[in-house]
């Protein structure tokens, strides 16, 4: 019997963006709260902040315990399924060296306006 392995692009909004030395994103998926450590470029962060109208004094809210609720941007990530069972998210090729050094997964992310 063959297993059906598939990849689906998810579009998630709203989500919470946090920073504790690395960018973390919290969101709900398949009825559960998820947290990913995301590979996000400075250009992507700048675009999100511009779209959201984030002011300098709000940057402290990015701290790991608070986070900023992002509502005007859509998180796009790829999810893998094995016979319709969720298996994980696509990791970043750009962050591969970092991932191997620290034994962690950085999730490949794209963002677009809502």
Q: Which residues fall within 8 angstroms of residue 25, CB to CB, at 6 or more apart?
A: 15, 16, 17, 18, 35, 36, 38, 75, 107, 109
Query: What pLDDT, in 10s, does the model give residues 62-112?
Result: 876 789 999 999 999 999 898 888 888 888 777 666 656 655 677 778 888
Q: Domain range spanning residue 49?
A: 5-113
pLDDT at 9 over 60: yes
pTM of the model: 0.79
Query: What pLDDT, in 10s, does the model give residues 27-67?
Result: 999 899 999 988 888 899 999 999 999 988 888 878 767 89
The answer to whether the bond into 53 is cis (omega within 30° of 0) is: no
**Is residue 94 within 8 Å of 22, Cβ to Cβ?**
no
**Is residue 112 within 8 Å of 76, Cβ to Cβ?**
yes
The confidence score (pLDDT) of residue 101 equals 60
Place of tokens 């940057």: 59
Q: How many helices (H) and strands (E) does the chain have?
A: 2, 9
| Tally of domains in the chain | 1
């Amino acid at each position: 019997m063959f297993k059906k392995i598939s990849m689906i692009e998810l579009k998630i909004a709203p989500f919470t963006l946090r920073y504790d030395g690395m960018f973390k994103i919290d969101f709900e998926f398949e009825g559960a709260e998820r947290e990913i450590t995301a590979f996000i470029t400075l250009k992507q962060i700048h675009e999100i902040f511009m779209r959201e109208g984030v002011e300098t004094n709000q940057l402290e809210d990015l701290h790991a315990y608070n986070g900023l609720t992002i509502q005007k941007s859509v998180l796009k990530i790829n999810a893998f399924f094995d016979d319709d069972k969720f298996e994980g998210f696509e990791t970043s090729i750009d962050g591969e060296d970092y991932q191997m050094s620290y034994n962690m997964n950085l999730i490949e992310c794209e963002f677009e306006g809502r």
